[in-house]
Structure 1
Amino acid sequence: MKKIIYTDKAPAPIGPYSQGVVNGNILYTSGQIGFDVAKNDLVLDTIENETRTVLNNVKAIVTAAGFTLEDVVKATIFISNMDDFARINAVYADFFNEATAPARECVQVAKLPRNVNVEISVFAIKN
């Protein structure tokens, strides 16, 4: 049965979608951007701070669903500039242990919502 996940520790949806959906033992998150809910503003000063904010939002949804980042099996990263990949990857490594890191892809796109530089979604499985 499908369960909608919502937390006030991540940006509220601005359209007809959910922050996350759990079906059985699988969690799917919507793409998260670098919006800091405490400051009610986008974090765009550096790609590192933006990425950290994105991943904190992802973590908030994962946690609200009763999962952990260790349960994440797949991540999708959209970036506006592939030249930022190494800097994004360095922050990503702070959230995911290399030995147990999820599968992922990183794709450069022409434009992201609200003109951000990075958006990340994940799915997790709880055994």
Structure 2
Amino acid sequence: MAGNLNVIQTANAAAPGGHYSQAVSHGGVVYVSGQLPVRANGEHSADQPFEVQASIALDNLLAILSEAGLGPRDLLKVTVYVVGIEHWPAFDQLYAHYLGDHRPARAVVPVPVLHHGYLIEIEAVARTAHKEPL
């Protein structure tokens, strides 16, 4: 890729299923592509309960951040696509467990359907430059 755009790739999260990267960084920011609840070994989980799917998607997100040398406290913005807004409370509880007291900006967007019949997809933006304390 051109310029200062760096591709971030880890075997600890699901491999991209199309023409995109797990994440890219540029100018002190990491952009994480939407993470479906596909296990790192490629195993699909669309038949699993929502909480299992959400945990897998969050695990993928954190594995990609880790590959970039980052953690949950570096998240700036998270967008969550959820099939069935009734899953929002369960997601919020899991999300709080994964992020602890860190509260990045977030949007939970109800959608009618996601690829392969999944119930959740998570994308995020994180910082690489630690000039501003959280």
Normalized against structure 1, the TM-score is what?
0.93
| In structure 2, C-alpha distance between the alignment counterparts of 1:7 and 1:88, rounded to whole Å | 25
67, 78, 96: which one aligns with 1:64: 67
118, 121, 133: which one aligns with 1:119: 121
Q: Does the CA-based 8 Å contact 1:43-1:53 persist in structure 2?
A: no
Letter in 2 for 1:8: A
Q: What residue ranges of structure 2 are gaps of 5+ in the alignment?
A: none
Letter in 2 for 1:55: L
Name which one, 1 or 2, has greater alpha-carbon Rg: 2
| In structure 2, C-alpha distance between the alignment counterparts of 1:41 and 1:114, rounded to whole Å | 9
| Percent sequence identity over aligned pairs | 29
| In structure 1, C-alpha distance between the alignment counterparts of 2:113 and 2:11, rounded to whole Å | 26
Q: Does the CA-based 8 Å contact 2:75-2:126 persist in structure 1?
A: yes
Q: What residue ranges of structure 1 are gaps of 5+ in the alignment?
A: none
Alignment match, 1:13: 16
| In structure 2, C-alpha distance between the alignment counterparts of 1:59 and 1:27, rounded to whole Å | 12
| In structure 1, C-alpha distance between the alignment counterparts of 2:41 and 2:55, rounded to whole Å | 14
Normalized against structure 2, the TM-score is what?
0.88
User: Which SS does the other structure have where 1:74 is aligned?
Assistant: strand
| In structure 2, C-alpha distance between the alignment counterparts of 1:36 and 1:25, rounded to whole Å | 28
Alignment match, 1:107: 109
**1:22 lines up with 2:42 in the alignment:** no
Alignment match, 2:100: 97
Letter in 2 for 1:23: H
User: Which SS does the other structure have where 1:30 is aligned?
Assistant: strand
